Amino acid sequence: MSFPVFTHPACLAHDTGPTHAESPARLAAVTAGLRDTYPDLDWREAPRASRGQLLRVHAESLLHAVLETRPTERIWLDPDTVLSPASAEAGLRAAGAVVAAVELVLNGESKRGFCAVRPPGHHATATAPMGFCLFNSIAVGAAHALDKFGLSRIAIADFDVHHGNGTQAIFDLEPRVVFASSHQMPLYPDSGHVTERGVSNIFNAPLPPGATGAQFRDAWRTRLLPQLDAFRPQLVMISAGFDAHRLDPLAQVQLEAEDFDWITRELVAIADRHADGRVVSSLEGGYDMQGLRESCVAHVGALRG
């Protein structure tokens, strides 16, 4: 099977301003790196997420703020999160990409898929856009898999350097979803302590500033991967943030592209054992263009197998 990558030009039009870390150049670096390295990828246009799909995880008030504000220039929803005239369309396409990838994988058309989209999603809660994020795309996709396909065990792995507080909060009372995250602590959004357990479905592995690839791998090998494996997921979903790379300006974890290759292969192995190989991954953070490009290329290479 060819390897599908979902994206959309609207994701480049989300205008965060000339000095914002979450810029269109991020997605351009990712897509250029993937096209240059893997010329046989199956590029697909991301559809819009529907209102009903979004409402599975988000309140009407959040949809209203993102979709009905209709700004004529950039406005700030919080100190980090921008809404521009084109942002609502970008958010709809980003969430829609994950839904489409879930559909593709669970219908048996492909084992795995990647969503090259922005804005990122994992900080958005049920009620609030935050941390560069408008809709929580990975949560929208997971809820679609639960409701439309009747899955009873979904694993979400998040290796972004910032804790996926929105994803955790959306699913912390949902036993059909296990959420496992490594992230730098202390760091925005100041959540993700090991004591945060949900209904025994939340597993956090904080890393100190300056943590090495060896420390990252040890956290996953000893604390997070065994929990995912024991859960026997029917679908593995990945919040693929690459801001734990050593070059990233927003954090101090010292990973290399090879570390992202390693964790991806470990997650694919769990999917192969329990989920018929099914993995859906979506881009989250990563703010150094070289580190982002190299890490995402390694990640997709590992997904391709």
> Which one of 8, 58, 123, 245 is the catalytic residue?
123
SS3 155: strand
Q: Which of 254, 268, 256 has the alpha carbon at shortest distance from 292?
A: 256
Interior/surface letters 140-165, b for 16+ CB within 10 angstroms, e for the rest: bbbbbbbeeeebebbbbbbbbbbbbb
Strand partners, 130: 133
Catalytic-residue membership of 123: yes
CA distances from 68 to 85, 226, 243 (A): 11, 43, 31
**Residues with active-site annotation:** 123
